[in-house]
Amino acid sequence: MPDPQPGLEIFHDGHRTRLKWHRLRLSLSAPLFSAETMALGFRTGASMELDLRVRGDGGFVVLHDQRLEGETTGSGLVREATPQMLRTLAVKAGGTPPILSEDLADLISTAHPQALLQFDMKDRLSTIGTRGLDHLADYFAGSGTSIIISGADLDLILAVKHRLPSVARGIDPTDKLFTLLETHGALAVEADLLSDLRGPTEPDTIYLSWPLLLAAQKAGLDLVALCREQGCKVDAWTFNLKDPDTGFSDAEWADFASLMALKPDQITTDEAPATQRAFALKSTPGR
């Protein structure tokens, strides 16, 4: 049965795949990191993702870049900025002030039971430090199943495990696995991924690019099944239609159909409603 809110999920072959709203937006033409979109997602039970950078006081702000001038009207390093200064800035894409971690904590308290917000940590543990971990623990230790914290720095994810043990964790080994696949083949990828899955971070979700998933499949390795056997979910990132208005091209449909056949738990996209709509049209008999 279709969901009343577009862009939440796709049901196919008895499996539910969530559509995660990449960078808090529902289309590539929308502003990045929209507080309005996040509020909508919390009301409707969406899966969403945002990037976090540490501030000068150990708190966090929703930004991707290390420096302010790329995304905001400010300048300088994000890690040196104060929350007071950040509230005077505007995000260039939308004209609104940057979202601070304190704002996130307030919104999360109102979240739908199925809503999930991914904190993609863009700084390493050495930059975040004890103050940053203290801030996360103070504001988000009680967030339960409403958030998942992910990052490329495994030391950071391990520290999060110790400080916020009830919060889910995610890791993204895509780059090294792609290199291994190209240089040493599928068996090396399987062994390395199993090491991560069984490692001390104890991830709940593995973030893998959809081209990696399809390349591994062609090499005879089902990475989604491998992760699921170890009790981990798989997020396939980031699939965007080139023309959301017209739907899948033949090549896009071939890739997306192959991806859906692997039954990932989640697909990251900046075009969730359009992707859901396009899939429904392609799946209609006679089309």
In this predicted model, what pLDDT tens digit does every residue of 39-65 receive, in sequence order? 999 999 999 999 999 999 999 999 999
Structure confidence at residue 202 (pLDDT)? 97
181 has pLDDT over 90: yes
Structure confidence at residue 118 (pLDDT)? 98
Structure confidence at residue 143 (pLDDT)? 87
Residue among 204, 212, 275 at smallest CA distance from 17? 275
CA–CA gap between residue 137 and residue 131 (Å, rounded): 10
Structure confidence at residue 4 (pLDDT)? 55
Rounded to the nearest integer, the mean pLDDT of the chain is: 95
Q: What's the predicted TM-score (pTM) here?
A: 0.94
In the numeric block, the tokens 């039971």 are attached to: 113
Give the mean model confidence (pLDDT) for residues 242-247.
96
In the numeric block, the tokens 């090491």 are attached to: 195
CA–CA gap between residue 200 and residue 186 (Å, rounded): 23
Give the mean model confidence (pLDDT) for residues 13-33.
95
Residue 131: pLDDT band with limits 50, 70, 90: very high
Tens digits of per-residue pLDDT, 71-116? Answer: 999 999 999 999 999 999 999 988 999 999 999 999 898 889 999 9
Domains within the chain, CATH numbers bracketed: 17-169 (3.20.20.190), 172-287 (no CATH)
1 has pLDDT over 50: no
Residue 285: pLDDT band with limits 50, 70, 90: low
Give the mean model confidence (pLDDT) for residues 196-221.
98
**Interaxial angle between packed helices 101-108 and 35-44, expressed in degrees from 0 to 180 and rounded to the nearest 10:** 20
136 forms beta bridges with none
Structure confidence at residue 284 (pLDDT)? 75
3 has pLDDT over 80: no
227 has pLDDT over 90: yes
Structure confidence at residue 110 (pLDDT)? 85
Tens digits of per-residue pLDDT, 152-172? Answer: 999 999 999 999 999 999 999
CA–CA gap between residue 254 and residue 260 (Å, rounded): 10
Residue 144: pLDDT band with limits 50, 70, 90: confident
